[in-house]
Structure 1
Amino acid sequence: MTNAPPPALACPRSLSRQGYALRDERDDDTAFLQILYASTRADEIVAIDAWTASQAGAFLNQQYAAQRHHYQTQIGPCRFLVIDRHGEPVGRLYHATRQTQLRVVDIALMPAEQGMGVGTSLIEAVIEMANAAEKCVGIFVDKGSRALDLYRRLGFEPIGETAMHIEMERAVGPPVSRTQPRS
């Protein structure tokens, strides 16, 4: 493994036509990335009645910083991409290359961007990139994530489990149609 990040993923044409673009993260993205991270934890935070807004905000900022530090120091060479729509950030996609695998480290979209096929198109593009490199695709998915069904439809299979996550992998091979159920 080299110390250089993997090549950037090209934005699928279907998304580009809708105003989406992928770009490398910049220092001025931090505020957006904290807001995006908080949006991914919103359901958990709402369930904690005892916290004030200030306490919840401090906790989320600390958790974002810890996650960020982990990604930068423990994952290895990683490409940190921001998903823009019409020039405004709406998500993130982080990926890393392993010897036999293209790892999706993280993918997240703001709530208003979810459920419109953006994540599906990006994961399909990751699959195409991995297939071209003759690598499988790996990802850790939260056990309660709505995205589990999507990954299964796209050909990912569980290969491991932690207390909070399911490790999934998709073998090298032709794309799985998202409109036809798998047998």
Structure 2
Amino acid sequence: MAVRPASSDDIPFLKELYRALRFDEVAAISWSPEERQDFLDSQFDLQHRHYVAAFPRADFLLIQKGAAPAGRLYVDRSIDAWHILDIGLLPSFRNRGIATALLTRLQSQASETRASGISLHVARDNSGALRLYRRLGFVEDGESETHFRMRWGVRCVSP
């Protein structure tokens, strides 16, 4: 597994990934496949523009398994407590230890550079991700109607 900076050449893959990650959210809507793809592509475009504008110093990384693109990791390391904006893998690459390896590597880097910790947001109904984050020592420290905010690091207080 490797990560590298994403480039504009990766946009087609990143759109494919976004569609795979969000398909279930729109599957029940009575749209044609083309309408569904157009909607998800427009949502990707909006999200991508927002991330780039709101987090200009973030690292936008492409995750690869061998030569194959497998996912994305967007992380802002420009602040004392690093923030994971997004981590996502294609379904065919999930449950292979890739996210665990990426997150433990990020935790090691945060410790080495004396970052105060790492934060992220996760959907309340994403039970697999919640299990992973808890197993890696992330604790919930805030919530909204749809998401939990989780933190890992020296300033985290265990529940």
TM-score by length of 1: 0.79
- Contact kept in structure 1, 2:63 and 2:73, CA below 8 Å: yes
Structure 2 stretches lacking a partner, 5+ long: none
1:62 to 33, 36, 42: 42
Within a 5 Å distance, the mapping from 1:112-131 to structure 2 comes to 112-131=92-111
Total equivalences in the alignment: 155
What is the identity, as a one-letter code, of the residue corresponding to 1:157? V
Find the partner of 2:81 among 101, 106, 122.
101
Match of 1:72 among 52, 60, 63: 52
| C-alpha RMSD of the superposition | 1.8
SS of 1:95's partner is strand
Look up the equivalent residue of 1:99 and give its one-letter code.
Answer: I
Runs of at least 5 residues in structure 1 that lack an aligned partner in the other structure: 1-19, 174-181
Contact 1:134/1:172 (CA < 8 Å) preserved in 2?
no
> Quick one: distance in 1 between partners of 2:41 and 2:79?
33
One-letter amino acid matched to 1:166 = F
- How far apart are the structure 2 equivalents of 1:34 and 1:151? 25
With the length of structure 2 as denominator, give the TM-score of the two structures.
Answer: 0.91
Identity of aligned residues (%): 33
Cα distance, 1:98 vs structure 2: 4.5
Structure 1's consecutive aligned runs of 4 or more residues displaced over 2 angstroms after TM superposition are: none
Matched, 1:86 2:66: yes
Corresponding residue for 1:40?
21
Q: Per the alignment, in what secondary structure is the counterpart of residue 84 of structure 2? A: strand
Number of the residue aligned with 1:152: 134
